[in-house]
A and B are shown apart, each in its own frame.
Chain A
Amino acid sequence: MTEPLERECEVFARYLSGSPPSDYVLAQYRAAHAAGVVDPPGGATRFDEFVVRQARRGAWLARALDAHARVFANGSLLRRKLVLLLALLEVRSPHAEALDTPTGASRALMLLTMAWLGVRFAFSVALVAVLLIPARVALGGGGAK
């Protein structure tokens, strides 16, 4: 059975880059967690951990919850995990090249895509904000666990 951290790294890497992490990236992801570098200052809340558990379910959920966190909880556990993984992916080939190569979109397509990303982002933020209300009430939105 896949351990939660490995599953999480796999899902988040697919969300960020479209491909799974290498063994090296997974090992570094584990090492960083063991060293405690992803813990938010003051510690993660129960709500933070709930959000991460949901994000582990798949890349689509990770994206939606990331959008919500970008607006309402930028320094949360989920954002810190994702930024850590992005930092690990960008320093190791082949992800490093993939993350830094233009998509080849024409100027018009680029503008259209950016508009679509903006709409999707706004929709995700709004939808997740509503869907998380019960969890936020049940678990308490703030304060360390």
Chain B
Amino acid sequence: MKHVVVVGSGASGVHFAQSALERGWRVTMLDVGRSAPAAELPHASFAALKREHPDPAGYFLGRAFEGALFPGAKGEYYGFPPHKGYIFAPLERVAWRARGFDPLLSFARGGLAQAWTGGSFPFTADETRDFPFEHSELQRCYGVIAQRIGVSGAVDDLAPYLPGHAHLAPPLDLDEHSRVLLAAYERSKSRLNGKLRCFVGRSRAAVRADDRDGRQGCTNLGRCLWGCPREALYTPSITLRELERHPSFSYVPGRVVTRIEADGANRVRRVRAESLDGGAELVLDTQHVALAAGTLASAKVLLDSLRAHGGVSPVLTGLMDNRQVLVPFVNFAMLRKRVELDSYQYHQLALGLERPDPRHYVHGLVTTLKTALIHPIVQSVPFDLASALWIFRNAHAALGLVNVNFHDERRETCSLALEVERDGSSKLLVRYEPAPEESERIAGALRDVKRALRALGCIAPPGMTHVRPMGASVHYAGVVPMRAERTALCASPRGESYDLAGLHLVDGATFPFLPAKNLTFTLMANAARIAERLDD
């Protein structure tokens, strides 16, 4: 039986593995695999947790109060749930140094997408123009993935920018705030579509409304941000659990892959992995390896492997990430209303700005903040806390946030390389420089977003817009791009390295372009596509 070793259990790894198993391959998955804590009070809604949990401060703020955000702290408009800390907990053996970039790596079972907000946004044909294969291949795989994970949404005004695909389930129920916004859009559509080229529609989310495949449908517990205890919101660990039941699949957690070794003909021969608990090194003989550890971690394994193989460690250029800008807003029509906690919490609507070059489309995720902790927001209001709280109580239902995403392109000035220490260990060097025209591009788009919000009856309070640092979106891609022609430090259309035959890069590392969209859905579709062509 043909055998492939998959490195990493994130969105790309599990769907590559699933498609490989469906084609009769034997799969061994090596992973660090830090596990999520068990869901607490899985029946309870967000509001009920505050009544029923024996230690709500421990749950919401963390046992060491690490979820409490103090004035002046570097942070965003809501804190990251403490019990999701396992997703981004660092691993000493995978060290990095960065300039112009705040990298986030994950060593969790299920990878970075354990913190995914479910945004499932297919790329358009224009956006995959540089991808060296037919867009229809990806389009078909979107359907495959949608069937596996459950994607809800609608084909509406955003369809030119978010194409439809097979197995798109009906959208979830809208909360009142999103209904009000959508109704306002319908009233102002001609102005928004005409002058601003702004379009609003239902977002696409990897959320099941029905009970299926061991997952329970969304019942509006309002715990999306805190970790859906019903697994209605998809995470890769759900697929991993299914894979573990397959007789040809073996999962090996507690391992850090150090390098992949090749023979004199540059053909993959084995994988080496260290044990996290100090056990013996694991050496697996294989001719096929799928690197799916996420762009940064995969690149480090590739660089370490090339250094061990040829004695030289190259520089991988073209690192990309989506710049994100958070634009909070207040919807006047929702002031003084009671906040609706029992509803889906992430982006129910999306806002798109068309640009002359279709690849420069700007995508906004419209989130109506409800179950984020309130103390980070209240303390940012320029009043004493009690007055700020009074204002917040009357405005909470009216608050929203547009997370504006921008595309990125490969540039020589954005790179990954190795810094080799005296003891032979290595550190990943990350360097990122924004495009020279970025500020102008952001300013123009933000002007349009704020105009659109005004047309929807909202205002964006001055001084509250927050430009997130590069690296914060965790949409990393581009350092080993797919090319049709054989090129060093690139991958074939099947994701296979041109430097080491049998090494398949199945995560974002091979994307030649990054549209202004969360890439997770496309990562999964592309990984499935590569696995389907493993036999070619």
Binding site for B on A (CB under 8 A): 15-16, 24, 28, 32, 35, 37-38, 63-64, 66-67, 70, 74-75, 79-80, 82-84, 86-88, 90-93, 96-97, 99-105, 107, 110, 113-114, 117-118, 120-121, 124
Which residue on B lies nearest to A18, using beta carbons?
Answer: B386
Contacts A35-B65, A74-B72 given: A87-B394 contact, CB under 8 Å? no
Can you name 22 A-B residue pairings with CB atoms under 8 Å? Answer: A28-B57, A70-B384, A70-B385, A74-B71, A75-B72, A80-B71, A86-B375, A88-B57, A91-B50, A91-B60, A92-B50, A93-B51, A100-B339, A101-B338, A101-B393, A103-B393, A103-B394, A113-B390, A117-B383, A118-B383, A121-B384, A124-B384
Q: What is the distance, in angstroms, from A23's C-beta to the closest C-beta of chain B?
A: 13
B386 near A16 (CB under 8 angstroms)? yes
What 0/1 pattern do residues 255 to 293 of B give for CB contact below 8 A with A?
000000000000000000000000000000000000000
> CA separation between A43 and B391, bound complex, in Å?
32
What 0/1 pattern do residues 372 to 404 of B give for CB contact below 8 A with A?
011100110011111101110110110000000
- Which residues of B have CB within 8 Å of A99? 374, 389, 393
Chain A contact residues, majority secondary structure: helix
Number of A-B contacts (CB under 8 A): 124
> CA separation between A66 and B396, bound complex, in Å?
22
List B318-365 residues whose CB lies under 8 Å from chain A: 335-339
A84 near B386 (CB under 8 angstroms)? no
B379 near A86 (CB under 8 angstroms)? yes
- Which residues of A have CB within 8 Å of B393? 99-103
Q: What is the distance, in angstroms, from A31's C-beta to the closest C-beta of chain B?
A: 8
Which residue on B lies nearest to A66, using beta carbons?
Answer: B384
> CA separation between A102 and B383, bound complex, in Å?
18
- Which residues of A have CB within 8 Å of B391? 114, 117
> CA separation between A35 and B68, bound complex, in Å?
13
Kindly list 5 other residue pairs between chains A and B, CB separation below 8 angstroms, not including A87-B61, A90-B374, A121-B383: A74-B72, A84-B68, A90-B373, A105-B394, A120-B387
Q: What is the distance, in angstroms, from B44's C-beta to the closest C-beta of chain A?
A: 12
A67 near B70 (CB under 8 angstroms)? no
- Which residues of A have CB within 8 Å of B72? 74-75
> CA separation between A54 and B70, bound complex, in Å?
21
Which residue on A lies nearest to B332, using beta carbons?
Answer: A107
Q: What is the distance, in angstroms, from A108's C-beta to the closest C-beta of chain B?
A: 11
> CA separation between A30 and B51, bound complex, in Å?
21
Which residue on A lies nearest to B336, using beta carbons?
Answer: A102
- Which residues of A have CB within 8 Å of B61? 87-88, 91
- Which residues of A have CB within 8 Å of B59? 91
- Which residues of A have CB within 8 Å of B374? 86, 90, 99-100
> CA separation between A105 and B50, bound complex, in Å?
26
From A92, A102, A121, residue with most partner B Cβ within 10 Å: A102
Q: What is the distance, in angstroms, from A119's C-beta to the closest C-beta of chain B?
A: 11
- Which residues of B have CB within 8 Å of A63? 384, 386
B387 near A117 (CB under 8 angstroms)? yes
Q: Does B443 contact A (CB under 8 A)?
A: no
Which residue on A lies nearest to B382, using beta carbons?
Answer: A70
> CA separation between A97 and B50, bound complex, in Å?
9
> CA separation between A24 and B53, bound complex, in Å?
12
Q: Does B64 contact A (CB under 8 A)?
A: yes
B57 near A102 (CB under 8 angstroms)? no
Q: Which of B60, B71, B383 contacts A79 (CB 8 A)?
A: B71
Q: Which of B70, B336, B373 contacts A107 (CB 8 A)?
A: B336
B65 near A37 (CB under 8 angstroms)? yes
> CA separation between A107 and B186, bound complex, in Å?
26
Q: What is the distance, in angstroms, from A138's C-beta to the closest C-beta of chain B?
A: 25
B375 near A90 (CB under 8 angstroms)? yes
Q: Does B56 contact A (CB under 8 A)?
A: yes
Q: Which of B51, B378, B387 contacts A121 (CB 8 A)?
A: B387
- Which residues of B have CB within 8 Å of A114? 391
B71 near A75 (CB under 8 angstroms)? yes
Q: What is the distance, in angstroms, from A140's C-beta to the closest C-beta of chain B?
A: 21
> CA separation between A90 and B126, bound complex, in Å?
47
- Which residues of A have CB within 8 Å of B47? 96-97
- Which residues of B have CB within 8 Å of A75? 70-72
Q: What is the distance, in angstroms, from A99's C-beta to the closest C-beta of chain B?
A: 6
- Which residues of A have CB within 8 Å of B378? 86
> CA separation between A121 and B382, bound complex, in Å?
9
- Which residues of B have CB within 8 Å of A35? 64-65
> CA separation between A52 and B28, bound complex, in Å?
59
- Which residues of B have CB within 8 Å of A90? 373-375
Contacts A83-B375, A92-B50 given: A37-B68 contact, CB under 8 Å? yes
A-B residue pairs, 6 tightest by C-beta? A75-B72, A67-B384, A117-B387, A91-B60, A66-B384, A96-B50
- Which residues of A have CB within 8 Å of B56? 91-92
- Which residues of A have CB within 8 Å of B373? 87, 90-91
Contacts A90-B375, A110-B335 given: A100-B387 contact, CB under 8 Å? no
